[in-house]
Each structure stands twice: as structure tokens, then as C-alpha cells.
Structure 1
């Protein structure tokens, strides 16, 4: 087991789990709950636009510096997607950390996306399908919530019983760090996370893993 940051070296042939709690993979999990068929994760907002030009039936979801690009259908917001009609639709998602992180690992034994909402299901999937394979958990952000989720996931994979309260406390700490960072920005550049944080804190809300299929320039996430 190893817990690393985005850009750090990952062992060859490991199961790679990419973490983004606030908010990319919480958003993705809620989208799957709402009935989306798959989510194509791309490393940049511009790549999302290019892929949508090829697949105009797909909805664009994502953010640039935390804010929804003007031509995107939805921002990187689980609260917005929880209220959307998505059944049977395919998504394209582009975020600064989470989806960009997925694109950096071309040859893993398996590639998964995780947030607190599906951390338990992710651990069960790994233990069932790759019980003897080394794994690397990649924290895409520098704030506390991703590290807390990584520690929780690692303990579950190893057969331990980590405390949910510790994970929630880590998410709260990370949310405070985000809020402090946004408070230093001009008002127009600030992101209000208040509607999204209840989703981000809801540990094991989703009973599925999100497994990636590596394609040319993007990763296709499936609910399994």
C-alpha cells in the first residue's frame, strides 16, 4: 500500500485509486445515482469541449478554478446533479484535480475513482477482484479531505475498521481549508461549497465502485 500525491511515482502494475472528495468524484457518484450510463473523464476543460463536439448528445460537467465554465451544462456540483434529470444520459467531466488525475496512469492493474460517498464499496471491489495486488491511493488535492479518505480506504482494504467519525472530521477540516483559500480571492472568483458539502460528508451513501476504462486521452468511468 502507498498513499501519494498527484504527480508522485506510482508502482507499476498497481491498483490505482484516485481520490477527489471535494468535489469531483462525489459529483460523479451522485450522477451515477441519478442514472447516467457512463462518465468520460478528461484532463482539461478544453478537452471536454473537444470531446463534446464529437459526441453532442453528452452533457458537459466540470469546473475551471472551481467555477462552472459558461458553456458547460453543469458545474462540479453534486447538489446540482442530485436535482437533475440524467437517467440514460452520458456525461463528460472535466475538473482541475480529480479527472486530471485519472488521466495520468496509463497501465494500472485497475483504475478507480473514489470519494467518501463510495469508499466502502470501493474497498470491497478491490478486495474481491485484486486481493493480492499492491495498490496506490492518489490524493489529487492538497487539503485534508483526500488524505482522510485515503487513510480510511487503506484501512478498509487491509481488513480494519476505521472510524467514520475520523473521515468526516477530515472532510470538515478540508472544507475549512477550501473556505479559507476562497476567502482570499476576489468575490467573483469565490466558490460557495455550502450546498455540496453535505453530499461530500455522506460516507458510504453510494453502494458501488467507479471503475475506469483507459481510452485514448480520457478515462471512461463505469458504475460497478
Structure 2
């Protein structure tokens, strides 16, 4: 097993057995909570224009995302896991566009298995990936993509997943959560002068949940790869 941690969303990766794309604050925490609340699937797009064009073709779609962390005019949902819990997404198809996580995922499709996660579903995702690795007799390669180009939150989660895959279980859950809570990406959520960023989001992003599914990407026909809920 060869594990490589890649940081940022603008990357070109060699084909791998498993790619795990991480966005803790907040894209794939939002995705996790959307599936917990019954979302059917999440389709990924690179631009606001592509999201709005999809909605024009199908008004039942729900647009979710952000630009520079802020809500997008005309979108149904922003990038807040706390705000998502106030909305009905049961059986809905979401179109997601975000600055780092979605972009990183769209640049990580060259793998046999493509997973996305925040910290909230990191342990379940790591354990699922570990089972996949145990089933292949090859010297499999794994990329852990910490999508924020400089944020400690995604890097902390990548190291946490790496520890589970390798069996060292280091760093610990507590250490990882502390790094997320005190990361530079979390600072604006604690700043009362920036009310657009919800303080409750950070508590959700840094809380691990027991889960019975992972979030897996399958490249779709057309231009919108899809995240599916896959039970484990």
C-alpha cells in the first residue's frame, strides 16, 4: 500500500486504486448531512453557470454551494451544514459547486474507487477504504486529497485517515478535532464581525458521527459526476 497526501484542488494525479477527497469546512460535511437527511444524489459542477443551467433544465434540482465561502444568489442552499438541517432535501438531487472540495473531486476522477468525506464521516470512509485494500492483492496506491490549499483542517483529516489505513491510529480523534477547531479555515466562523459564517457549522464539521454509508463518486455520462450514498 502506497499512501500519498496531496494538498489543494488544482492537481493532476496519476491513476490510483483509491482517491479520497477531503473537504471538512464545509463541502463534504454538507454532503454527509444531506445524505443523512435523505438526499438522493449529489451532482458536481465546476461553475455557477453550469449549476444554474442544470436547474433551468430541471426545476426540481436543488443548487448548493458557495463562492469564497459566501452564498450564491439564486442557489437553494448555501454551504452550511447547520443551515441544511432546516431544509427538506429528502429524495432531492443536489447540484453542488464549491471553491475547493468540488473542484478537487473533479480533478480526482482517475481512480478505481473515488470517495469524498469531511471529518464527520472520515472514520467510516477510512474503514471502508481499508477493506477495499485488503481485498486487492496488488500494491495498491491511495491518494488522500486535502482540498484546501493551505488549511490545516483538511490536512488534519487526511493524516487521521492515513493513521487508520496504516493501523497506527495516530493522530487521535481528539487531536484531529482540536486541529480542525483551531484551524485557520475555522477562524472566520468564530469572528462576530463576519456573521455570514455560522459558528455552529464548525461544531458540526469537527464532530465525528457514527454512519453506515460512505460517499462514492461515479463519473456520469455527460458532464456531471455523481456522489452516491453507498451502504457499508
State the TM-score, normalized to the length of structure 1.
0.90
What whole-Å deviation, never above 9, does each CA across 1:37-72 have from its counterpart, x for those lacking one?
111121222221122222221111111111111100
Q: Aligned pair 1:137/2:139, yes or no?
A: no
Partners of 2:39 and 2:11 lie apart in 1 by 32
Q: How much has 1:190 moved relative to structure 2?
A: 6.7
Q: 1:177 to 1:62 in 2, by over 3 A?
A: closer
Q: Aligned pair 1:85/2:88, yes or no?
A: yes
Greater CA drift, 14-23 or 129-138: 129-138
Q: Which runs of 4+ in 1 moved over 4 A?
A: 180-183
The answer (yes or no) to whether the contact 2:114–2:217 under 8 Å persists in 1 is: yes
The answer (yes or no) to whether the contact 1:103–1:217 under 8 Å persists in 2 is: no
Q: Aligned pair 1:212/2:217, yes or no?
A: yes
Greater CA drift, 158-167 or 96-105: 158-167
- Report the number of matched residues: 219
Structure 2: state its 5+ residue gaps.
Answer: none
The answer (yes or no) to whether the contact 1:61–1:94 under 8 Å persists in 2 is: yes
The answer (yes or no) to whether the contact 2:180–2:186 under 8 Å persists in 1 is: no
The answer (yes or no) to whether the contact 1:120–1:153 under 8 Å persists in 2 is: yes
The answer (yes or no) to whether the contact 1:17–1:112 under 8 Å persists in 2 is: yes
Structure 1 counterpart of 2:229: 223
Structure 1 counterpart of 2:28: 25
Tell me the C-alpha RMSD between the 2 structures: 2.1
What whole-Å deviation, never above 9, does each CA across 1:140-192 have from its counterpart, x for those lacking one?
10211000000001111122323111110110122x44426997xxx7x8742
Partners of 1:177 and 1:37 lie apart in 2 by 29
Partners of 2:71 and 2:210 lie apart in 1 by 25
Q: 1:57 to 1:127 in 2, by over 3 A?
A: same
Partners of 2:190 and 2:99 lie apart in 1 by 15
Greater CA drift, 20-29 or 119-128: 119-128
Greater CA drift, 108-117 or 11-20: 11-20
What whole-Å deviation, never above 9, does each CA across 1:14-53 have from its counterpart, x for those lacking one?
3111110000000000000000011112122222112222
User: Aligned ranges for residues 1-224 of structure 1 at < 5 Å?
Assistant: 1-5=3-7, 6-131=9-134, 132=136, 133-141=140-148, 142-162=150-170, 163-174=172-183, 176-179=184-187, 191-215=196-220, 216-224=222-230
